[in-house]
Structure 1
Amino acid sequence: MVVSYSAEPATDFSNEENRKAFKAALEQVKKDFGSKRPLIIGGEHIETEDQFTSYNPSNKKEAVGHVSKATPRHIDAAMQAAEEAFESWSEWTPHQRAELFMRVAAIIRRRKLEFSALMVYEGGKPWVEADGDTNEGIDFIEYYARSMMELADGKPTLDREGEHNHYFYQPMGPGVTISPWNFPFAIMTGTTAAPAIAGNTVLLKPAEDTPLISYKLMEVLEEAGLPKGVVNFVTGDPAEIGDYMVDHPKTHFITFTGSKATGLRINERASVVREDQGQTFLKRVVTEMGGKDTIIVDKDADLDLAADSIVSSAFGFQGQKCSAGSRAIIHEDVYDQVLNKSIELTKELSVGDPVNDTYMGPVISKKQFDKIKEYIDIGKEEGELKIGGETDDSTGYFINPTIFADLDPKARIMQEEIFGPVVAFAKAKDFDELLEIANNTVYGLTGSVITNTREHWHLACRKFNVGNLYLNRGCTAAVVGYHPFGGFKLSGTDQKTGSPDYMLNFLEQKVVSEML
């Protein structure tokens, strides 16, 4: 068990001083709009002619910043830099690497409002969601640093007479982190920091919708004194450099968070061993590929709690979480009551530019806006629209929180990941059918059971086939170290971020046996 760890506390925005400070951070960040950000390869800042622009999804014509585009040639250079840096970085002791990253976490903590403010603009995150994202990034760094300290001396083995055995861990080599736009700081930071703390070197490719917050991390890594080439910043078009990074014969590991389709593609490509190009190892793949997460409500449940759990899980950060509760399966005896309570709570939610501290902001991009809008049209054919459904992309990509009722469990909006503020309701006749419907998708990430029958909770613990299951609360908001996160089935490889075992994904186990 990892000791001396506690989660970073949330900022209390009901405190007027905190509100003033965050508004000042929003104003300060905005002064930097339009800046150009280079690639960072082996510590060298490289600005390319070909660049792409990160826009504010609340104001689609407002450029937050511009970022250089990497080509395969840059990936080769970054891999060479990572390979060279590995020779010395891997010789640092685990404690030395962990201590450096604890300094990284301390710097981010001092600049926390700045990081969160940038996510409000670049990621469309409401204040509370942005604050949580930054906090989680800090948590990942500190948790993994402490985890590595505990692994520093390896694990005990048995010794025979005249023999001494030592079981220990060593880093693997250069690898690739491909991070998502929905948690542009937390997941990006965790999946970059963990392999680096383990002694590896990293090529970081952030999502093209949110590259600027990743660059903020690079600033901190440089300030903290991370050696050049340990983390290389390579932004660009996934079609041009994504496969190339995965396929590269020097890539030892890939960590990816994103869609099922891309995750499966990475798994397939990474399985190919390119011996003719010098690859002499199998690549490790750590993926998290989304969910179709369900909250089930038993007939004896606290119905107010049920409605609140459904609404917060479905509409927090516009439903753009792999853990978002996009399905509510309700016992038929209380179905109408829970549905009506959920509708009333949804009416209270504010939608608008998150700079103004709204509950919901925009979805991330035109691509996502069009996709969600299409699913709303599908939902109108498959069920009954009870509230929401309105969309507006005149200035930004805004979609009102939407509830559909009376869905067939096999309907498309009950089966396919929408990744937006849409939740579908269906009913079941008993607890067995609630579980049956909950398990009827290809995903198995998170789930929630709202019940006061202990026997039903025990049954769900055995039969509800998800990696993270919660009782009498929503199905989002896992906390690093408290709720190790990862899913079953086609939700990913279930290598549980924020867990005591996560660092092992980036280490090789070695045994040295000495005859005395």
Structure 2
Amino acid sequence: MQQAYKNEPFTDFSKKENRDDFQTALNEVEQQLGKHYDIIIRGERIRTKKTGTSINPSNIEEVIGTVSQADKSLAEQAIHTAVETFETWKKVKPSARARYLYKASAILRRRKHEFSAWLVKESGKSWAEADADTAEAIDFMEYYARQIEKLTSRHPLTRLTGEDNELYYVPLGVGIVIPPWNFPLAIMAGMTTAAIVSGNTVVLKPASTTPVIAAKFMEILDDAGLPEGVVNYIPGSGSEIGDVLVEHPLTRFISFTGSREVGLRINELAAKHQPGQKWMKRVVAEMGGKDSIVVDHDADLELAAQSIVASAFGFSGQKCSACSRAIVHEEVYDEVLARVVALTKEITVGDIREYGLYTGPVVDQQAYDKILSYIEIGKTEGKLMIGGEKGSDKGYFIQPTVFADVDPQARLMQEEIFGPVVAFAKAKDFDHALEIANNTEYGLTGAVISRNREHLEKAREEFHVGNLYFNRKCTGALVGVHPFGGFNMSGTDSKAGGPDYLQLFTQAKLVSELL
């Protein structure tokens, strides 16, 4: 048995030697920009005429790379390859599958700054956010490797004289993994390796805006010696291959992280029985949030303001866990709002390649246009306190934006914006604050800042979210520490990074023998 799990530490960029090392990695990655990346099916690299282009959101003139795009026939080929490979991969001992993850995590740890540099360039993450993303990818692989060893050990059952009974977990089959662009390494790696360490094979369709990072991760799996065909990399548009992958009768499960709209469509398509299909498909989905930080009248107000700003504007608010709603008791509303505005004024936005910047661009033109449209809506629904403007035209920059006095039912308080926008609503008392916090269709994360133990216990019972935090920000879940997933339209509450996660990719089998 491996040693006890411990989270990968974050890099301390206050040390000059660490900054120099990261700068070197950035320089080396910049020398590799503009390359082409092929589709990979059973280890074979396939180049297609149709390609997609990944660009740097901090500098839209800079091409990160071009990527071959799969069509329906290649999607079909990838699924059949995964089906064939499953017959051998499922027979590999769980401990041996775990060792592939230990090896991959060790390789990634050695290439940590390199992958973080790719995250800076392709997804627009700050140095700190990119470093955390890479650390989380390492954490996911090591955690799931340890979890499969626990899951596949003998489970104690009630003894019955004259019988030998054993419960064990077997893999499902072929899974379609559709990761998000906002954690293009951590969540992608976590979803993929959880499926394969459980004995399944995978067709990986990377996010269209961050396919290069996924291609680089395929290098890690190859270096770790993972057998060909266990993971098949097929970039492509959702409209071209998405439905084919989800609806295919040989697809056993779909692991998805993304928008509510796409998640619901996947769930609908997966629920329809196809000719030749032998099972009900399993859907593991995380679909976003509309997350609130509640501030009580007796709270530490500096902590509250710092938590709101960090949760709302880290990575330009492009986290499903980001705070987009600040619900503040009327007695301290003005003070908290003023402090949040003051802190927001200090935020620096720009080309995130520079170390000193707090946050950078939003991911692409579509996100840019959507967020700016919500800012215009916000101007009609509340009072613009700060921000609301574009940044440099060199990239997709939007200034961190705070709206005050927003009605709890307003669009700004109900719809997921996924950008650097936070809306303030005033609560009459703590019960009213919880009522507002629960008034959305989502239920992912939330936080309560309060010194009142009775109120915290009330929130523990009544604040209906999958991840609830007291007296801290609502972002920053750690693998194995804060199993992550939400209620309602936030998805299936899959609890990634938790002890139950691998059971979603397996099924329990009982064997009973009369002695």
With structure 2 as the length reference, what TM-score do the two structures score? 0.99
Unpaired runs of 5+ in structure 2?
none
Match of 2:398 in 1: 399
Alignment correspondent of 2:366: 367
1:475 paired residue number: 474
Equivalent position of 2:456 in the other structure: 457
| C-alpha deviation, 1:49, in angstroms | 1.1
Q: Which amino acid aligns with 1:333?
A: E
Q: CA deviation at 1:393?
A: 5.9
Give how far 1:83 is off.
Answer: 1.0
Residue of structure 2 in register with 1:212 after alignment: 212
CA contact (8 A) 1:444 1:490 kept: yes
* Alignment match, 1:288: 286
Off by >4 Å, runs of 4+ in structure 1: none
2:347 pairs with 1:349: yes
* SS of equivalent to 2:74: helix
Counterpart Cα distance in 2 of 1:285 and 1:334: 43
Q: Is contact 1:154–1:169 with CA below 8 Å preserved after alignment? A: no
State the partner residue of 2:310.
312
Could you report, residue by residue, the CA deviation over 1:7-38 in whole angstroms, capped at 9, with x for unpaired residues? 10000000000000000000000111110000
3-state DSSP class of the match of 1:265? Answer: helix
- Look up the equivalent residue of 1:122 and give its one-letter code: E
Count of aligned pairs: 514
The question of whether the paired residues in 1 share the 8 Å contact of 2:350 and 2:392 is answered with: no
Are the aligned partners of 1:134 and 1:186 in contact in 2 as well (CA < 8 Å)? yes
- Alpha-carbon deviation of 1:62? 1.0
Give the secondary structure class of the aligned counterpart of 1:355: coil
Distance 2:182 2:207 in 1: 9
Contact 2:351–2:360 (Cα < 8 Å) also in 1: yes
3-state DSSP of counterpart to 1:235: coil
Aligned to 2:26: 26
The CA distance in 2 between the partners of 1:7 and 1:470, in whole Å, is: 19
TM-superposed deviation, 1:85: 1.0
Does residue 322 (structure 1) correspond to residue 305 (structure 2)? The answer is no
Query: Which residue does 2:145 correspond to in 1?
Result: 145
Moved more, 85-94 or 312-321: 85-94
Question: Paired residue for 1:428?
Answer: 427
Measured against aligned partners, the alpha-carbon deviations of 1:181-212 in whole angstroms (never above 9, x if no partner) come to: 00000000000000100000000001000000
Q: 1: CA distance between counterparts of 2:348 and 2:447?
A: 25
> 1:175-186 maps to which residues of 2 (within 5 A)?
175-186=175-186
CA offset digits 1:467-508 (Å, max 9, x no partner): 000010010000000000000010000010000000000001
SS of alignment partner, residue 213 of structure 2: helix
Q: Offset of 1:159 from its aligned partner? A: 3.0
Greater mean alpha carbon deviation, residues 126-135 or residues 76-85: 76-85
Find the aligned partners of 1:150 and 1:162 in 2 and give their Cα distance. Answer: 27
Partner residue of 1:238?
238
Mapped partners of 2:12, 2:248: distance in 1: 45
Q: Percent identity?
A: 57
* Residues 111-141 of structure 1: CA deviation (Å, up to 9, x unaligned): 0000000010100000000000000011000
Aligned-residue CA RMSD (Å): 1.1
**Aligned partners of 2:173 and 2:200 also within 8 Å:** yes
Q: How far apart, CA to CA, are the structure 1 residues paired with 2:59 and 2:216?
A: 22
Code of the residue aligned with 1:353 in structure 2: it is D
Asked if the contact 1:326–1:423 (Cα under 8 Å) also holds between the matched residues in 2, the reply is yes
Match runs of 1:39-78 below 5 Å: 39-78=39-78
Note if 1:384 corresponds to 2:375: no
Say if 2:96 is the partner of 1:126: no
Secondary structure, counterpart of 2:160 in structure 1: coil
Unaligned 5+ segments in structure 1 are: none
C-alpha separation in 1, matches of 2:202 and 2:178: 10
Quick one: distance in 1 between partners of 2:85 and 2:332?
Answer: 60
Q: Deviations over 1:44-101 (max 9, x none)?
A: 0111111110000011121110000001111111111111111111111100000111
Please tell me whether the aligned partners of residues 446 and 487 of structure 1 are also in contact (alpha carbons under 8 angstroms).
yes
Name the amino acid aligned to 1:170.
V
1:252-288, Cα deviation, whole Å (9 max, x unpaired): 01000000000000111100111x2x21011110000
Whole-angstrom CA distance in 2 between matches of 1:100 and 1:118: 23
**Inter-partner Cα distance in structure 1 for 2:470 and 2:3:** 26
Counterpart in 2 of 1:81?
81
Paired with 1:181 and 1:226, the residues of 2 have a C-alpha distance of: 24
- Separation of aligned partners in 2, 1:147 and 1:367: 38
Residues 104-123 of structure 1: matches in 2 within 5 Å?
Answer: 104-123=104-123
User: So what's the TM-score if we normalise by structure 1?
Assistant: 0.99
SS of the residue corresponding to residue 265 of structure 2 reads helix
Contact 2:136–2:479, Cα closer than 8 Å, also in 1: yes
- Amino acid aligned to 2:208: E
| Cα distance in 1, alignment partners of residues 89 and 162 from structure 2 | 35
Query: Shift of the alpha carbon at 1:161?
Result: 1.7
Quote the Cα distance in structure 2 between the aligned partners of 1:284 and 1:155. 24
Q: Which moved more, 1:38-47 or 1:3-12?
A: 3-12
Partner in structure 2 of residue 486 of structure 1: 485
